[in-house]
Amino acid sequence: MQTDDIRLSHVPGFAVLGQDDGKRNVQGWHSDFPYHWGVPARGLVPTPSGKTVLGVQRNVCVSPFTREGGATAFKLGSHALDRPPPKEWGDATAHAKPGYRAEHGLPYNGPEADVVDAPGGSIILYDSRTWHRAGVNRTPKKRAAMLQAMTPMYIFPKNDTSRTFKKLLDSPVYDNLNDREKHEIQNLMVHQFIGPGGEYAITVDRDLTETVKTATTSGY
Ligand SMILES: [Fe+2]
């Protein structure tokens, strides 16, 4: 991303994949935040997006990632194509629709879908544009990963990380960190902007949110 000043774009979250039942909707092909190509989200990065890398995804495999156990399928090298995955592969927007799997079957799983096996504890690091989708877990054992979207400091965050960071400050875990770790976690989780007279932490304003909701629902 050509900068050392990086942020966590959301609080690290767990993605747990249970055994497939042959019916449930599955995740379709997509690119991760902030690109979100193939995802029904607001604020997609326009294509072509250019050479600047706007995100790197860092997924920690909590359990082993195997083909039968639901390891992620990637189209390796697709980040360089600088465009969304083909719709005919079955993207995440299509597969999020109720009943889509029953009508259209599973997303593309041909020779261009590269399944990366990885032992538990591995970290899968990839350019967020890389086309991928969750695998299908055909085993009774759950597959778990911790997902982290890493972005340069100039990207608007995906979710609020400030409340979790404040909780960390009050936890005994924080006291056991050394100064470098404290500094690094703060830098990763506190998004700031420059205001009058200095830098300010960006966080949620609940009162203002209620005001905005009222204005929106009343048609303004
Ligand atoms: Fe993803």
In tens, the pLDDT along 71-88 reads: 999 999 999 999 999 999
Ligand 1 centroid to Cα of residue 59, in Å, is 9
H/E element, 214:
helix 206-217
**What are the tokens at 207?**
């009162």
Cα–Cα distance measured from residue 167 to residue 144, given in angstroms and rounded to the nearest whole number: 24
As a whole number of angstroms, the distance between CA 110 and CA 213 comes to 45
Q: Which residues have beta carbons under 5 A from ligand 1 (an ion)?
A: 32
Residues of the chain with CATH 2.60.120.620: 6-155
* Residue 28 neighbours by CB under 8 Å, 6+ apart: 38, 89, 90, 91, 92, 93, 94, 95, 96, 107, 133
Average pLDDT score, the chain: 95
Contact 72, 116 (CB under 8 A): yes
Q: Could you tell me which CATH class the domain 6-155 is placed in?
A: mainly beta
Separation of 37 CA from ligand 1 center, angstroms? Answer: 10
Give the per-residue pLDDT at 42: 86
Per-residue pLDDT of 142-200, as tens digits, reads 999 999 999 999 999 999 999 999 999 999 999 999 999 999 999 999 999 988 999 99
**Tens digit of pLDDT for each residue in 116-130?**
899 999 999 999 999
Q: How far is the CA of 132 from the centre of ligand 1 (A)?
A: 6
CA of 217 to the centre of ligand 1 (A): 32
